[in-house]
Structure 1
Amino acid sequence: MPLNATAKSWRVGDLPFFYRCQPQPSNAAYGLPDRLSFELEFDAALGLVRQRPNADVDRALEICYRQGSEISGMMDDRGIGQQYAQDFLAYITRHEWDLAGKRVLEIGCGTGYLLSLLKARGADVLGIEPGAQGRDGSNRHGVQIINGFFPHPAVAGKFDLVIAYGVLEHIVDPVGFMRTIADSLSEGGAAYIAVPDCAPYLRTGDISCLLHEHWSYFNIGSLQRIVAAADLNGEVEASGFGGSLYCRVTSAQGRAAAATAEIAQAAAEFDRFRSMAQAAVGKMEQFLQGPGVAGIYVPGRMINLLATLASETQERMRFFDDNPAMTGLYFPGFPVNIENFEALKNSPPARLFIATKSFHSQVVLRIEQAAIDIPVVAWSEFFVQEATT
């Protein structure tokens, strides 16, 4: 994983093109590759970590979006999707307490569930979504959803609110996209943006945040700089649920230039991210080379890192996850099916890496209660945040 110091770019490797967990260890049934090259670059004008444009990735994403991406986090009326929706709704209504008669557009609206909640509060809503979930959700939630990409000729006029939840990171030119959103706002209107908060990953060298679907990797500073570069005002805050950043965007008078020191700090953080990620690769190699077969709990957090290792190491590992919908399925390019806790209990691996910081203690407690005698390695042993000066 070499770094070109002059251009501030880093070819991470051929990473899994993660579309969904599936009943076979390949994306071929969906007309998609199992792995594609992934290269990061540092945009010195914006202080932004981003994926370098790649025509092969563009072609794969066109297929993926038309079929409907199913990566966790989509808002809906069930499960964790409902929690995402309720948290973002609370953020919007904190600023927009009276939605009666407001014209609302949601870009990348998924099933349209959030729009249905806004409609129930009196808003006049419209969604646009390229995936099949939009067609299904339109009937289920009783909202109008245009099948396509924004901007779209069927999306006309001005809107009091424009919403883009989990969209901006998918856009190659986020500054241009923000300007297009601003052109769709009525006078005094506001846009509500949500993106994944990548700061915890960038600080620790955890490359699990890298997805071919995501072109930009935001923290608070880079999101604020993107908004300012589009000649807009943005107020950024952390979400109450789900590890996102929320931003309310309004019109501005003139553009505020990013401070040189701020950009220099972001560049140093990019270098540290690369260095710590390479150290984590070495630790994983050592973990898998031990005696017997190693287990990885919550493997979705580790597939990027594992993809950078030699292929023969894949014969020395098993995957485990608590999500019953994943049992028996595969990640693209890995001939290792996902097992549940009962399989771990009945046939423990030689050692176990728990690839989650948030739920480590709960997993350890379950192992102890099941009287499973197995050495456990924690996420924090692989990803330790370096002190900064």
Structure 2
Amino acid sequence: MQNIKIAQLPFYWRLVSREEKVDGIVDSKYPFSFDFNRELGLVIQRRDTQVLAALEKIYQLGHNIGYLQDANELARPYGTDFIRYLNNVLVKNVNIRRILEIGCGGCVVLADLKNRGFDVLGIDSSPFAALEGTKKGVEVLTDFFPSQRIEGTYDLIFHVDVLEHIEDPVSFLKHHYTRLNDNGLVVVNVPDATESIQLGDISMAMHQHLNYFTLKSLARTLQAADFEVVSVDKAKYGGSLYAIGRRRAQTSHAANVYARFHEEVYEAFIAKAIKMVDAMRSLIKEITSNSENTLGFYVPLRSLPYIATLQIHYPFRFFDDTPHWHHREFDGVDVRVENFEDLRARPVTHIIIMSLTFDHIIRKKIHAEFGETIQVMSLSEVAHRTNQ
């Protein structure tokens, strides 16, 4: 079977200024390749012991702790939408009183729940979460889940952007059973990889994401852990999936007879991905063959898999409107992230928008400012032309 292998993909775990970079914590690049979990119909990152060790190290050091933090502006729209979803769950299940959050980051959601009278606990491997919990009056255990330090059972366990990081998501979810009351609920929030898999888009590849969920594979994962799937939904904002699973009063041992799913979806993804990489190679070569052209990638994190696969060399520029990314760099790529004001001050001739979710918003913003003076191509356009 064909596959996509990236020999040296930049290891995304922070963005820092050039002066702040400290080498030797973890390597700046590691290999990456896709794989497939047949039982779950789930596209995954092929497990690599070096990558797993590096991930555990950065989590314990307090990096990649999630975007739901007071200082992160992304927390507002994403967090507001998830809290809306969680509120709907609470309204429909008035018996819920005790709530556990796994991977609680800045304790934004837990603080909101505690202020409304719920009995809450957080668990997070990062010391950052415990500090934030102390500020907000929320108890947080500094540990990985499952943990012997958790006492009692809960009516609801939830996590935001956690399950995609877990090496064995089914086993992880099964451990929820020991901490859930009968008919207790788990609420899961993960990035939605459905469109990328359908298009053959490898921009979703990053070492910290071990699993790439679709609507179907997320439901299958919950079922394999013996949860009754109540609902799997697309978020109202951003590219996320939400799911609700109910703990059965008696386990059905569904995982023991869980059917193997065919690999056609994965094979189609890889076949399209190979064509997509070739199309990106042709597009970038066409742009850079003219010395008067200048190239920028908007939403640079999603460009890293293509840059690494194609071994694209500088010069190119990165643009992103996330405030705390401004003038910072990814490890392994010595290109500073600029914002829209930087683009306005010093335009490029060509931009490739690397976000499927926010493509239309970024395109509209560029067109309003520059008209047709900047040629814009999106990842989505490249994919649809390739797959025609």
Q: Deviations over 1:332-386 (max 9, x none)?
A: 21122222334333333343323341323323234326xx833333333322277
Per the alignment, residue 361 of structure 2 pairs with 359
- Structure 1 CA distance, aligned partners of 2:19 and 2:50? 21
1:28-67 equivalence runs, <5 A:
28-29=22-23, 31-67=25-61
1:1-389 equivalence runs, <5 A:
5=1, 9-24=3-18, 28-29=22-23, 31-70=25-64, 73-74=67-68, 76=70, 79-97=73-91, 102-234=97-229, 235-252=231-248, 254=252, 255=254, 263-292=262-291, 293-310=294-311, 313-356=312-355, 357-368=359-370, 373-384=373-384
- Cα offset, 1:84, TM superposition: 2.2
- Cα offset, 1:126, TM superposition: 0.4
- Cα offset, 1:100, TM superposition: 7.6
Paired residues of 1:13 and 1:308 also in contact (CA < 8 A) = yes
Q: Equivalent residue of 2:310, what SS?
A: coil
- Structure 2 CA distance, aligned partners of 1:71 and 1:318? 27
TM-score (norm 2): 0.87
Bigger shift: 19-28 or 47-56?
Answer: 19-28
How many residues end up aligned between the 2 structures?
377
Paired residues of 1:163 and 1:192 also in contact (CA < 8 A) = yes
- Cα offset, 1:152, TM superposition: 1.4
- Cα offset, 1:78, TM superposition: 6.0
Q: Deviations over 1:125-174 (max 9, x none)?
A: 00001113202211222100011111112112211111122111111111
Q: Equivalent residue of 1:84, what SS?
A: helix
- Structure 1 CA distance, aligned partners of 2:24 and 2:84? 37
Paired residues of 2:99 and 2:120 also in contact (CA < 8 A) = yes
Paired residues of 2:363 and 2:376 also in contact (CA < 8 A) = no
Q: Deviations over 1:242-293 (max 9, x none)?
A: 2211111113453286666x63443344334433442344235424532233
1:291–1:316 distance in 2 versus 1, CA, 3 Å: farther
1:93–1:136 distance in 2 versus 1, CA, 3 Å: same
Paired residues of 1:28 and 1:34 also in contact (CA < 8 A) = no
1:368–1:203 distance in 2 versus 1, CA, 3 Å: same
Q: Equivalent residue of 1:249, what SS?
A: strand
Unmatched segments (≥5 aa) in structure 2: none
- Structure 1 CA distance, aligned partners of 2:11 and 2:126? 18
1:78–1:51 distance in 2 versus 1, CA, 3 Å: closer
Partner letter of residue 239 of structure 1? A
1:190–1:167 distance in 2 versus 1, CA, 3 Å: same
Between the two proteins, what is the percent identity of the paired residues?
A: 31
TM-score (norm 1): 0.87
- Structure 1 CA distance, aligned partners of 2:3 and 2:269? 9
Unmatched segments (≥5 aa) in structure 1: none
- Structure 2 CA distance, aligned partners of 1:87 and 1:374? 33
Q: CA RMSD in A?
A: 2.7
